[in-house]
Each structure stands twice: as C-alpha cells, then as structure tokens.
C-alpha cells in the first residue's frame, strides 16, 4: 500500500486558546509529520506559491477573500498522486472548510480510485464542511470519515491518530 501524507499548515501568528501567539511550526504540520513517521509515508506540503501573511489578521483577511471568490491559488510545488493508493490529507479548518490551496491540490490531480483520509485541525468547528467539499472535488475517490483534532492538542494526538489510522486499515509502526 503506497501512502502519501499531503498537508497544508500555516506557521506564524495563530489564534490559540483565546490569544494570538507566534509559532514556528503550525499545528497541522506537527500532526502530518507524526502521521508520516507512524506510517512511513511520503510527505508533501501543499503550499501556496505566494505564502500567506505572517500576521493572523492579514492571513484571515486573505483567506476570507479567497474563500468568497472560491479561488484556486497557484501552488509552490506540485506532486503527482498517480503512484499512491491512499492520500492522508491534513489541513486546518479555515472559514469552515479547507484552505483554498487544498482545493487547488485536489482539483489538479486524478484521485479516482484512491482512498482519502481527511484530518482537520481546528479551533472548534471540527471537520466543518470539508468532507463534503473533498467528495465534491474528488467524486471518484473513496473519502472516509475524517479525524478532527483540536489545534492546541496537536502534540498530544498520537493515540487518537493511531486509532484512526488503524480503524481505516492503515498499518502503523509500533514504537
């Protein structure tokens, strides 16, 4: 079984437990790297060609504008999903769904026959509308129920992730 962990994450300022703090690594990046280590999968970062602003307020403003326009921002680097059977797709909940750069990623590849496992870090909206949006973008993929993770608990999510992956038939390396 060939697995790709594809993730989007935003380092810099983020809203965390009611206050704005600056982080070197985003919550979803922490989760995605755990998943890649647990599964031995390939790891690909879905990054916008023009990075999102460092400032939380500016980032939210741009994210909202992109969401309202339903835009498909250009990506920094493209990856082919052709050789993979399973795509573990990790992203933060932005505006109730995935960042629009993740829409670009899903629209630019052929996901027919692939299994997609959505993993969404969030501050309360859990998966939001993201699972439905992934199904609409990849109608010929098998999109399983997603795993919501509270952003602030990303570092402590190992057990939850292991249980989720195993319950979807993904082999997990034991430490």
Ligand X SMILES: Cc1cc2nc3c(=O)[nH]c(=O)nc-3n(C[C@H](O)[C@H](O)[C@H](O)COP(=O)(O)O)c2cc1C
- For the chain, state the CA radius of gyration: 15
Site map for ligand X, 54-83, x if CB under 6 A? -----xx--x--------------------
- Judged by CB under 6 A, does residue 14 bind ligand X? yes
CB of 171 to ligand X, least distance (A): 25
Q: Secondary structure of the chain: what % helix, strand, coil (to 5)?
A: 35, 25, 40
Site map for ligand X, 15-54, x if CB under 6 A? x----------xxxx-------------------------
- Judged by CB under 6 A, does residue 118 bind ligand X? no
Write the DSSP symbol of residue 73.
P
Q: Which is nearer to ligand X, 42 or 62 (CB)?
A: 62
**List of residues contacting ligand X (CB under 6 A):** 9-10, 14-15, 26-29, 59-60, 63, 92-96, 121-125, 151
């Amino acid at each position: 079984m060939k697995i790709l962990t594809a993730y989007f994450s935003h380092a810099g300022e983020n809203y965390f437990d009611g206050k704005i703090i600056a982080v070197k690594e985003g919550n979803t990046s922490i989760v995605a790297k755990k998943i890649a280590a647990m599964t031995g999968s390939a790891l690909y970062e879905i990054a916008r060609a023009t990075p999102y602003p460092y400032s939380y307020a500016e980032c939210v403003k741009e994210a909202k504008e992109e969401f309202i326009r339903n835009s498909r921002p250009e990506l920094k680097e493209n990856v082919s999903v052709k050789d993979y059977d399973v795509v573990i797709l990790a992203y933060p909940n932005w505006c109730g769904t995935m960042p629009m750069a993740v829409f670009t990623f899903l629209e630019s590849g052929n996901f027919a026959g692939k299994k997609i496992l959505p993993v969404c870090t969030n501050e309360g909206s859990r998966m939001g509308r993201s699972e439905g949006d992934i199904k609409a973008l990849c109608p010929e993929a098998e999109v399983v129920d997603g795993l919501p993770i509270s952003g602030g608990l990303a570092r402590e999510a190992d057990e939850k992730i292991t249980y989720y992956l195993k319950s979807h038939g993904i082999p997990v390396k034991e430490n």
